[in-house]
Amino acid sequence: MTLRKTLLAAVAVAASAFSVQALADKTYTLRLAETWGPNSPILGETTKHFENLVETMSGGRIEVRIDSANKHKAPFGIFDMVRNGQYDMGHTASYYYKGIIPNAMYFTTIPFGLLAQEQYAWFYHGGGMELMQKVYEPFGLMSFPGGNTGNQMGGWFRKEIKSLDDLKGLKMRTPGFAGEVMSELGVAVTNLPPGELYTALERGTIDALEWVAPALDFPMGFHQIANYYYSGWQEPGAEVQFLISTKAWNKLPEDLQEIVRVAMRTAAYDMYIQSTNDSAEAWDKMKEQYPQVTHKVFPPEVIDALRETTHRLLEEEAAKDPLAREIITSQRDYLKKVRKWTNISDKAYLNSVADQ
Amino acid sequence: MTLRKTLLAAVAVAASAFSVQALADKTYTLRLAETWGPNSPILGETTKHFENLVETMSGGRIEVRIDSANKHKAPFGIFDMVRNGQYDMGHTASYYYKGIIPNAMYFTTIPFGLLAQEQYAWFYHGGGMELMQKVYEPFGLMSFPGGNTGNQMGGWFRKEIKSLDDLKGLKMRTPGFAGEVMSELGVAVTNLPPGELYTALERGTIDALEWVAPALDFPMGFHQIANYYYSGWQEPGAEVQFLISTKAWNKLPEDLQEIVRVAMRTAAYDMYIQSTNDSAEAWDKMKEQYPQVTHKVFPPEVIDALRETTHRLLEEEAAKDPLAREIITSQRDYLKKVRKWTNISDKAYLNSVADQ
């Protein structure tokens, strides 16, 4: 009997109590904090999907424990909690941390920026991942694409926007960089917690608001108050984010690192595809049940002003910091190239089959 | 000493000779045949990418052995070779097997059909995967999305197409269902091996040809002969295919099945993103180096005739077979819904930022 056979015999004796697999394999726990509340559609489904992928592929050697915002109470504190070791991972959005790291803003989406597939191409082939790591590495963190919402809508308006003048004094909820741009055009920008939006719009505390896209807008009920639903300019492909601490990452053996990396990548793509499906479903139902809802596009003078302002504000950011300039330039140059291709492929096709 | 500790001690004795991991883990080989030649850009990179993902995630428990067409000599025989057990897996395109299974045609792309992200949404949320399995299951096979080329171009033309009359008698290489449609409009459709295309176009044996998109067209050199590069209608999001025999699949334990499934899914998405990047790069270079190359769209009367003919031929297929009708109806209904969303999101955005 060889040593191998002897050992196998010993293993067989023990087989009813525990498996060789369990003996051989150390197990790991990844504690993940998400910005979203419990059972959040699309976003929360993405972390659960990630958990299932990791646990099944690792044969149970990794356990993912997800805490939603109701548990950790810090929806916009994910960056800090992963940095200080309270959690190993996070699922959040890079642009929420603009206050701590100004350059985090560019890795979610920017106004007049890249579409989802163009942005994935920038991340994986145009230097985007390397630039994102440059920003997160000093904090002991790694950042990965975490799922795309698809193109976000420009928002719900109670009155039609026919000119730049119609924006002046308009009270609108629109946060972040897009809010800064709108503010430059005379919009009275406010931010309100999600739970107050419906009532604020109904009572006229605000005249307009921007949320996400039909999949997440429909459950909020805004279409019952505002009739005009505008196409977007401000978040053409918002990519949320997986954060993982380098310390937690380095504890994993190579095969489990790859399982985690690939699970994040697939879960991110899958979120984009789910968003596409769910917004298509929601828009279809909304149009059927609420025929008064009217789709609009902003007039060219409004789009031009928004774009000029966006470019001016980005130029101001670039002037402040060399890394900001490097990121902004990389995205702008990549967009110029990839958009030419999108224009002769998908755009030309969509325009040629206009009535479909 | 507990039984567990005794066994661990025995394991420690043997540790220098072989690892517990090696004892515990049976290894598997997956022999994969691909339609493509060796070192085929994008397509062949996708199977190598799949191999790397599977081997790294499985910690070497799965070995993937890829044979290119130069080895197995049957680029369009992948379906048969996987079905009869000569290979465990294949990387090919479903529509190549229309002659054996007419309903295989619908799972790659159809004229005037879904864009890449719309089609992934149909596969994963609109019933597409289930319909594909209905078609492949009777042959002991499972089929999965294997990577998207992105929107394919309508082709290279030596003369401009200004009307339907310009198509009559035009000698064009365009295979498959699109060739049937073109043929109905009076085009003299021919098929030629890839290696003969350049010379045939140069000598006037053909007046036009359709290949893929800039990423794969540029290396073929057609732009040196034909100046007009038309946007497409015939393959809006061609998805190639992973085939795996149910027998090979069932031999794998659950964790390795999930590793293979997720590696296929990620490799497929990644191919779409690589195609996006590579076509953007190639189109950029082509325009710079060959400024005479002119992008064109077919005039509306040509598009309308192509579309009417496509719908008539699809209706004929649907009338022949209930499963064909089920698939065609599912795709048509899904397209109607998802395209409305694409139109108010990506299309509206692309049109509003026209000069970018």
CATH number at A41 reads 3.40.190.170
Interchain pair B283, A236: CB under 8 A: no
Q: Is residue A334 part of a domain?
A: no
Task: State the CB neighbour count (10 A cutoff) for residue B162.
Answer: 12
Host domain of residue B104: 26-148+237-277
Contacts of B90 (CB under 8 A, 6+ apart): B32, B33, B34, B35, B78, B79, B81, B82, B241, B242, B243, B244
Q: What pLDDT shows up at residue B354?
A: 72
Residue B246 falls within a domain, yes or no? yes
Half-sphere exposure of A134 (CA within 13 A, CB side): 15
C-alpha to C-alpha distance for B263 and B50, rounded to whole angstroms? 6
Q: State how far the Cα of A299 lies from the Cα of A151, in Å rounded to an integer.
A: 19
Q: What pLDDT, on a 0 to 100 scale, did the predictor assign at position B191?
A: 85
Asked if A255 and B103 count as a contact pair (C-beta separation under 8 A), the reply is: no
The span from the CA of B15 to the CA of B21, in Å, is: 10
CA dihedral B59, B60, B61, B65 (to 10 degrees): 140
Continuous segment of H or E residues that includes residue A247 = helix A246-251
The answer to whether the annotation marks A117 as part of a ligand binding site is no
Specify the 3-state DSSP secondary structure of A146: strand
CB A89 within 8 A of CB A47: no
CB contact, 8 Å: A118 with chain B?
yes
pLDDT on residue B21: 52
Flag whether A210 is marked binding.
yes
Reduce the DSSP state of residue A60 to 3 states and report it.
coil
Whether residue A144 lies inside any domain: the answer is yes
Which pairs count as long-range contacts for A220-223, CB under 8 Å and 24+ apart, including other chains?
A220/A194, A222/A156, A222/A197, A222/A198, A223/A156, A223/A286, A223/A290, A223/A293
Contact criterion met (CB < 8 Å) for A356 and B265 = no
More confident residue, A192 or A275: A275
Asked if B59 has any chain A CB less than 8 Å from its own CB, the reply is: yes
pLDDT value at residue A355: 59
Query: Helix, strand, or coil here: A28?
Result: strand
Q: Are strands A141-148 and A239-245 parallel, antiparallel or unpaired?
A: antiparallel
CA distance B169 to B206: 11
Task: Identify all chain A residues contacting B109, using CB atoms and an 8 Å cutoff.
Answer: none
Q: Which range (A62-66, A347-351, B40-44, B175-179) has the least confidence? A: B175-179
Mutate to test the interface with B, among A217, A334, A337, A341 (most CBs of B within 10 A): A341
pLDDT at A297 over 50: yes
What are the tokens at B134?
């209905």
Contact list in A for residue B150 (CB cut-off 8 A) is: 345
Chain B residues touching A258 at Cβ < 8 A: 53, 56-57
Asked if A57 is an interface residue toward chain B (Cβ–Cβ < 8 A), one would say yes
What is the average pLDDT score of chain B? 93
Residues B116, B122: Cα–Cα separation, whole Å: 10
| Residue A290 within a domain | no
Task: Decide: B25 and B61 in contact? Cβ < 8 Å.
Answer: yes
In a domain, B330, yes or no: no
Q: Tell me the per-residue pLDDT of B292-337, one tens digit each, with 9 for 90 and over.
A: 999 999 999 999 999 999 999 999 999 999 999 999 999 999 999 9
Q: Residue B195: pLDDT above 50?
A: yes
Residue A42 lies in a domain: yes
The helix-helix angle for A116-125 and A322-342 (nearest 10°) equals: 120
What are the distances in angstroms from CA B69 to CA A249, A319, B90, B198?
40, 54, 11, 21
In our burial notation (b when 16+ CB lie closer than 10 A, e otherwise), range A277-314 reads bbbbbbbbebbeeeeebeebbbbeebbebbbebbeebb
Question: Residues, chain B, total?
Answer: 356
Are A345 and B232 within 8 A, CB to CB? yes
Helix (H) or strand (E) holding A30: strand A28-34
The region of weakest confidence among A63-67, A68-72, B25-29, B262-266 is B25-29
Is A32 in a helix, a strand, or coil? Answer: strand
Is residue A60 left, alpha or beta, with left meaning phi > 0 and alpha meaning psi from -120 to 50?
left
Return the SS3 of A239.
strand
- Token pair, residue A322, equals 């060399």
Q: Stretch B158-178: mean pLDDT, rounded?
A: 96
Selected residue of B120, B277, B296 to mutate for chain A interface (largest A Cβ count, 10 A) = B277
**Residue A267: other Cβ atoms inside 10 A:** 28
**A54, A123, A273: which to substitute to probe chain B, counting the most B Cβ within 10 Å?**
A273
Give the phi and the psi of residue A190 in degrees, each rounded to 5. -130, 160
CA B177/CA B106 separation, integer angstroms: 10
pLDDT band at residue A15 under the 50/70/90 scheme: very low
Nearest to B29 by CA among B92, B89, B74, B79: B89
Q: What is the mean pLDDT of residues A178-191?
A: 95
CB distance B95 to B177 below 8 Å: yes
Looking at the structure of chain B, the number of domains it has is 1
Report B:60-89 residues touching A (Cβ under 8 A).
none
More confident residue, B11 or A66: A66
Tokens 């380098």 found at: A246
CB–CB of A342 and B350 under 8 A?
A: yes
- The C-alpha atoms of residue B93 and residue B78 are separated, in whole angstroms, by 9
Contact B150 A125 (CB under 8 A): no
A226 Cα distance to chain centroid: 26
CB contact under 8 Å between B347 and A343, yes or no, is: no
Is residue A242 assigned to a domain?
yes
What is the C-alpha to C-alpha distance for residues B282 and A338, in angstroms, rounded to an integer?
10
Q: How confident is the model at residue A19 (pLDDT cuts 50, 70, 90)?
A: very low
pLDDT band at residue B194 under the 50/70/90 scheme: confident
Nearest CA in chain A to B152: A345
pLDDT of residue A194: 87
Per residue in B211-236, pLDDT (tens digit) is 999 999 999 999 999 999 999 999 99
Q: Please give the share of chain A, as a percent, with pLDDT higher than 90.
A: 90
Residues 14-33 of B with CB under 8 A from A: 14, 17-21, 23-25
Q: Is A207 inside any structural domain?
A: no
Q: Which pLDDT belongs to residue A193?
A: 85
Question: Measured between alpha carbons, how far is B242 from A309 in angstroms, rounded to an integer?
Answer: 47
Q: What residues of B form the annotated binding site for Na(+)? A: 211
Q: How far is CA A29 from CA A139, A223, A248, A268, B146, in A?
A: 22, 43, 9, 21, 32
